[in-house]
Structure 1
Amino acid sequence: MAKKPQLVADTRPWRDPAAKPFVRIRNVTKKFGDIAAVADVSLNIYKGELFCLLGGSGSGKSTLLRMLAGFETPTSGTIEIDGQDMSKVAPYNRPVNMMFQSYALFPHMSVAQNIAYGLKRDGLPRAEIEARVAELLQLVKLTGYENRKPNQLSGGQRQRVALARALAKRPKLLLLDEPLGALDKKLREETQFELVKIQETLGVTFIVVTHDQEEAMSLATRIGVMNQGEIAMVGEPTEIYEFPNSRFVANFIGSANMVEGVVTEDEPDHVRIQSKELGTDIYVSHGVDCSPEQILWWAIRPEKINLSREKPAPQAGVPSETNMVKGYVEDIAYLGDMTVYQVKLDNGRYIRVTKTNALRGDPEAISWDETVWASWAGTSGSVLVS
């Protein structure tokens, strides 16, 4: 008799209504004059998370991080860390450390001296400091570099020294402001995985501020997308990407084709959207909380669209002549791992389609100026009401 598979407990505390947040931000506003850099933000972050605050310039993410560190005081609202109200706690007394984008290493000190700086200021015994420095050097894979100066290190190595120094005093919460921003693309991608491994090894709660969507998606247990001082959406990376809650989030995270439409059928198991922009009806094979004749938006990721030279056969359960549109390939961008097609539809609108390059030098690949059909499944897009 086959054994029943064992159920693995869900270790994601944000899915447990009874879980106690490690960081609790309640109705926090920060104004500079009449301008609200952060506007009535409420957010729970749990112990052991690697949480990313993601947003563009001026979205309020760095201001929120600085309030957590104690470098800025909220105009209103409260911040709690590990059950303690931080409103009257000075930055140097908070169970927090911060790693800056510039790394801010002391140029005249060696790697070991930089890491040991905070421990020496606290008056720890020399043997204890040396043991802690050796432990951190091993953690960040810099054993043997302890006597080098920062100018003798690569950008990635300096980043790891700054991380080790920030972790030296065993903070309960580590704040990282654009930690990988100074690295080139390839090194940044490699370092993302190292950072995740270090965080998982230590179990320290990380809050990372970044404007880089790919970085946030690679690092985070959850992402808080910020826009104009507010939290636009909080969710796991797959939720943020696959199920955006607004046009802003759909456009900000990755790439999306978005069209306006009008609801012509509204049933519990499907809706039908008439879209003049797309030049076809869109059949969505699930219900949506909307009203008949309501104007809304439909967004679909480029990789969710199929391209074919021949008109596709109707899909099972989807009315004919819906979820397909004709056009021609006006431009192609070959990116190595995938190809991006710019397709001009018969009504003049453009859509973007991506295809993974699974075959090397595919002789059957669609090329420039070919007439094509773009089609998609009833579950491929997202219906957005705001």
Structure 2
Amino acid sequence: MSTSSTLAQPKSIVVPPWREEGAQPFVQIDQLSKQFGDFTAVNSVSLDIYKNELFCLLGGSGSGKSTLLRMLAGFEQPTSGRILIDGVDMANVQPWERPVNMMFQSYALFPHLSVEANVAFGLRREGIRSSEVKKRVTEMLDMVQMGHLAKRKPHMLSGGQRQRVALARSLVKRPKLLLLDEPLGALDKKLREETQFELINIQDELGVTFVVVTHDQEEAMTLATRIGVMDQGVITQIDEPHQVYEYPNSRFVAEFIGNVNLFEGTIMGDERDNVTIHCPDTNSMIRVNHGISCAPNQTVYVAIRPEKVRISREKPLQEINSTQGIITEIAYMGSQSIFKVRLTSGKEVRVTQPNFARDMGDRLTWDEVVYLSWDADSSVVLLS
């Protein structure tokens, strides 16, 4: 056998279905609205979700994300619009007849039943034979690493363990679509981070389509194949996590996802591959490496993420995309340090730097005059 034949072959590149022309969505939400009296909770939302996706609806309280999830489950009836799951209109389909299961934030475990009895409950209600129930429950508990605690009651489990039992109970009936309402909200930060990766692995192994509702930006960024950012009943942007973070389509999305510095300015020049903006906040010109096709002298906003801003005692050679200020706050976060810098205009800018070295050395400190700079491809122009 030749040496070359033993080498691993590169994996073929799989194009996500939402990028494929003509791909059929698994869940179709068409002009869906929900009103409670005079209040519109969901306003003409249209959304396609594809098979095996882990889609996150991200938004603050009152954004409409949980109402949208409840309409998918059948617990709320739309005021107008349609929901199709696997090509079937759900208009006259009762919640218990939909190919859907839902995992609630509270987990809703039966306190008097053991772990295995909780997971088996739905299967037994359907009259599935005992041998099949036992097999599926055992497989699911092993998958969520809870098989060794099958005989325990919920009050004997930690929050993370109860979350796994609730997930197993939701998946054991093999739904086509699993809806998760703030599934990790009750867990502490470290356990939540660990469980996020476990959830991704379980979803990938089972191939079930997940729709997750969360208010936690980091959770959505970690879990999702795509994110739908909701505000006041409307989805303002749908995209893959890195696209939502790097290329927000509005000030709301830029500020809601992570931290961002926003500078207001006036368009001075707009070409196909760059735009120049006069910015009083920085007392300088800002150049961004993309065009926006707008009117001269139009007011716009430049969004720059804190980790993309350089901070130094030395004045940079570049005059464009640079400014000066004084350090007013420093927060040491272990892996990184956060600096707040007040510019001469009074504008406050946030800068983050990774802490590569253990020795703090001659570090920047409070009340120092510093220079900030960034690259032309590190920012994005927003019209609203």
TM-score (norm 2): 0.97
Q: Using the alignment, how far apart are the partners of 1:285 and 1:63 within structure 2?
A: 39
The answer to whether the 8 A contact 2:275-2:289 is kept is: yes
Q: Using the alignment, how far apart are the partners of 2:169 and 2:13 within structure 1?
A: 35
Residue 292 of structure 2: SS of its match in structure 1?
A: coil
Q: Using the alignment, how far apart are the partners of 2:235 and 2:354 within structure 1?
A: 33
Residue 131 of structure 2: SS of its match in structure 1?
A: helix
**Equivalent residue number for residue 330 of structure 1:** 328
**Equivalent residue number for residue 340 of structure 2:** 342
Q: Using the alignment, how far apart are the partners of 1:16 and 1:30 within structure 2?
A: 31
Residue 358 of structure 1: SS of its match in structure 2?
A: coil
Q: Using the alignment, how far apart are the partners of 1:56 and 1:347 within structure 2?
A: 32
- State whether structure 2 residue 192 is matched by structure 1 residue 188: yes
**Equivalent residue number for residue 16 of structure 2:** 12
**Equivalent residue number for residue 201 of structure 2:** 197
Cα distance per residue 1:64-93 (max 9 Å; x no partner): 000000000000000000000000000000
Q: Give the superposition deviation at 1:269.
A: 2.4
Q: Give the superposition deviation at 1:7.
A: 7.5
Residue 144 of structure 1: SS of its match in structure 2?
A: helix
Aligned equivalent of 2:155, options 121, 135, 151: 151
Q: Give the superposition deviation at 1:6.
A: 5.6
**Equivalent residue number for residue 364 of structure 1:** 362
The answer to whether the 8 A contact 2:282-2:322 is kept is: no
Q: Give the superposition deviation at 1:160.
A: 0.3
Cα distance per residue 1:189-208 (max 9 Å; x no partner): 01000000000000000000
Q: Give the superposition deviation at 1:270.
A: 1.6
Task: Give 1:205-224 correspondences, 5 Å limit.
Answer: 205-224=209-228
**Quick one: which amino acid aligns to residue 336 of structure 2?**
M
**Equivalent residue number for residue 57 of structure 1:** 61
- State whether structure 2 residue 267 is matched by structure 1 residue 269: no
- Unmatched 5+ stretches in structure 2: none
Aligned equivalent of 2:136, options 132, 138, 145: 132
Deviates more, 1:80-89 or 1:341-350: 341-350
TM-score (norm 1): 0.96
Q: Using the alignment, how far apart are the partners of 1:148 and 1:304 within structure 2?
A: 49
Q: Using the alignment, how far apart are the partners of 1:285 and 1:113 within structure 2?
A: 59
Flag as ranges the 4+ runs of structure 1 deviating above 6 A.
none
Cα distance per residue 1:4-34 (max 9 Å; x no partner): x967233410111211000000000000001
Relative to 1, partners in 2 of residues 1:366 and 1:292: Cα closer, same or farther, differing over 3 Å? same
Q: Using the alignment, how far apart are the partners of 1:297 and 1:207 within structure 2?
A: 32
Task: Give 1:1-386 correspondences, 5 Å limit.
Answer: 8-314=12-318, 321-386=319-384
Q: Give the superposition deviation at 1:267.
A: 1.7
**Quick one: which amino acid aligns to residue 123 of structure 1?**
G
State how many pairs are aligned: 378
Q: Using the alignment, how far apart are the partners of 2:10 and 2:183 within structure 1?
A: 39
Q: Give the superposition deviation at 1:283.
A: 1.1
Relative to 1, partners in 2 of residues 1:7 and 1:120: Cα closer, same or farther, differing over 3 Å? closer
Cα distance per residue 1:209-235 (max 9 Å; x no partner): 000000000000000000000001000
Q: Using the alignment, how far apart are the partners of 1:280 and 1:10 within structure 2?
A: 44
Q: Using the alignment, how far apart are the partners of 2:292 and 2:310 within structure 1?
A: 24
Q: Using the alignment, how far apart are the partners of 2:350 and 2:192 within structure 1?
A: 27
- Unmatched 5+ stretches in structure 1: 315-320
Q: Give the superposition deviation at 1:61.
A: 0.1
Q: Using the alignment, how far apart are the partners of 2:377 and 2:232 within structure 1?
A: 31
Cα distance per residue 1:328-356 (max 9 Å; x no partner): 11110111111000101112211010001
Q: Using the alignment, how far apart are the partners of 1:190 and 1:270 within structure 2?
A: 41
The answer to whether the 8 A contact 2:120-2:133 is kept is: yes
Relative to 1, partners in 2 of residues 1:151 and 1:76: Cα closer, same or farther, differing over 3 Å? same
**Quick one: which amino acid aligns to residue 219 of structure 1?**
L
